[in-house]
């Protein structure tokens, strides 16, 4: 192989290269300074409290800020009986165990709390209670715990998600299992503890709802099931306060599957959510579901995680309607 001989640079050429290099360094430094001036500062992380078993273990849900400014949450285990706790923490980090579940009043809360209009907090436990199938509870800010209802399997079992207070003052939620077909339920409970099963999932309209509900501006509630539907990959559903359940969309894998989280309604009236798997890379999706006009529902995939990309996947029309 022939190699061209490289001639050494003359003093003049060397000086020119050095000047060009210096200009490039100055330009890069200027760009860096500009980016530093416009980029947000790096966040400062502060550990406010650590759980040690006696004050709780393994919190699985987020916090809610009470009207007094403190934060409230649950731990799925630990506490006096090892069955989980409800706690309060101040913004400065003072952690207080408000209550410890003992099994008879619930166990293993995996969901967050919601503060009712009366100032008390409401939540669910995955297990425990009179039938060991989970509970709905109320707790006052000072820590008085009341079991409002115990699930018995026929009316639902093992709620994994928290509650939402409807505009009528009642609370609405889902159970992961139980009900008429053992595939999960949607329920309503009054602040005094009257429990009503609004709908039971049967597989064709979804099953195993792992997430809670959101009340839309039209007064109906919207949610997801982690499985079931037309292709057993999960659904998005709507349910009226009186219990009419409608499957708005069924996931098919290509547009996502296994939605494990709830929905949020955007200012445009559409609902947005995520699936934990499926999509173009089988690593999950972000989706939008359009619910107007009433007779035409459209599920759109906004993005798929993994490899960057936007999928133009659309599936129009309702996949079914079911009433209790």
- Per the structure, the complete domain to which residue 187 belongs is given by 52-200
pLDDT tens-digit readout, 103-127: 999 999 999 999 999 999 999 999 9
Q: What secondary structure does DSSP assign to 91-150, as a single string? A: TT--EEEEEE--BTTBB---S--EE-TTS-EEEEESBBSTTSB-EEEEE-TT--EEEEEE
Q: Is residue 153 part of a domain?
A: yes
* Percent of the chain surpassing pLDDT 70: 77
Predicted local confidence at residue 41, as pLDDT: 67
Q: What is the DSSP string of 272-307?
A: EEEESB-TTTTS-EEEEEE--STT--EEEEEEESSS
Q: What is the mean pLDDT of residues 128-152?
A: 98
pLDDT, tens digit, 9 for 90 and up, residues 182-207? 999 999 999 999 999 999 999 999 99
Is the residue at 151 inside a domain?
yes
Q: For residue 321, is pLDDT > 60?
A: no
The answer to whether residue 234 sits within a structural domain is no
In a domain, 183, yes or no: yes
CB-CB contact of 234 with 250 (8 Å)? yes
Please tell me the pTM assigned to this model: 0.81
Confidence of residue 11 (pLDDT cuts 50, 70, 90): low
| Percent with pLDDT over 90 in the chain | 76
Point out the least confidently predicted range of 1-10, 31-40, 164-173, 274-283: 1-10
Mean pLDDT, rounded, for 151-158? 98
Establish if 176 belongs to a structural domain: yes
Q: What is the C-alpha to C-alpha distance for residues 103 and 98, in angstroms, rounded to an integer? A: 16
259: Cα within 13 Å, side-chain hemisphere: 32
Number of domains in the chain: 1
In a domain, 288, yes or no: no
Contacts 24+ apart (CB under 8 A), 141-144: 141/66, 141/68, 141/88, 141/98, 142/98, 143/86, 143/98, 143/99
pLDDT: which is higher, 223 or 297: 223
Condensed to tens digits (0 to 9), the pLDDT of residues 56-93 reads 999 999 999 999 999 999 999 999 999 999 999 999 99
CA 23 centroid distance within chain: 50
Q: Provide the pLDDT for residue 33.
A: 52
For residue 5, pLDDT beyond 70: no
Q: Give me the mean pLDDT over the 137-155 stretch.
A: 98
- Judge whether residue 315 has pLDDT over 60: no
Predicted pLDDT at 295: 42
Task: Give the whole-angstrom CA distance, residue 324 versus residue 322.
Answer: 7
- Check which CATH number belongs to the domain holding 116 and give it: 2.130.10.10
pLDDT at 319: 36
The verdict on residue 308 lying in a domain is no
pLDDT (average), residues 46-60: 98
Q: What is the pLDDT of residue 38?
A: 55
Q: Which of these ranges, 9-18, 86-95, 141-150, 264-273, has the smallest mean pLDDT?
A: 9-18
Residue 17 lies in a domain: no
Q: Is the pLDDT of residue 318 over 70?
A: no
Q: How confident is the model at residue 20 (pLDDT cuts 50, 70, 90)?
A: very low
The pLDDT value given to residue 265: 97
Chain mean pLDDT for the chain = 86
The DSSP string of 183-196 is B-EEEEE-TT--EE
pLDDT band at 291 (very low <50, low <70, confident <90, very high): confident
């Amino acid at each position: 192989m022939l190699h061209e001989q490289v001639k050494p640079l003359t003093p003049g050429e060397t000086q020119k290269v050095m000047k060009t290099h210096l200009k490039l360094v100055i330009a890069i430094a200027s760009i860096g300074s500009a980016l530093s001036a416009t980029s947000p500062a790096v966040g400062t992380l502060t550990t406010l409290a650590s759980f040690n078993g006696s004050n709780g273990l393994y919190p699985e849900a987020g916090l809610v800020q009470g009207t007094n400014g403190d934060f409230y949450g649950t731990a799925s285990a630990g506490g006096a009986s090892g069955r989980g706790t409800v706690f309060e923490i101040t913004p400065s980090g003072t952690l207080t165990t408000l209550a410890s579940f003992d099994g008879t009043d619930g166990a293993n809360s995996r969901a967050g709390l919601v503060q009712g209009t009366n100032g008390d907090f409401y939540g669910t436990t995955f297990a425990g209670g009179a039938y060991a199938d989970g509970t709905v509870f109320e707790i006052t800010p000072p820590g008085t715990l009341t079991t409002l209802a115990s699930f018995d399997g026929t009316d639902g079992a093992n709620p994994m998600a928290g509650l939402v207070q409807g505009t009528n003052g009642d609370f609405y939620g889902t159970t992961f299992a139980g009900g008429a077909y053992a595939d999960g339920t949607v329920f309503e409970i009054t602040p005094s503890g009257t429990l009503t099963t609004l709908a039971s999932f049967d597989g064709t309209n979804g099953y195993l709802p792992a997430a809670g509900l959101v009340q839309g501006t039209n007064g109906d509630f919207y949610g997801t099931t982690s499985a079931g539907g037309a292709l057993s990959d999960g659904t998005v559903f709507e349910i009226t306060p009186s219990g009419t359940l409608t499957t708005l969309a069924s996931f098919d894998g290509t547009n996502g599957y296994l939605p494990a989280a709830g929905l949020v309604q955007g200012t445009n009236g559409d609902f947005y959510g995520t699936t934990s798997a499926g999509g173009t890379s089988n690593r999950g999706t972000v989706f939008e579901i359009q619910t107007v006009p009433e007779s035409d529902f459209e599920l759109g995939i906004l993005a798929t995680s993994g490899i960057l990309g936007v999928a133009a996947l659309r599936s129009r029309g309702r996949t079914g309607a079911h009433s209790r």
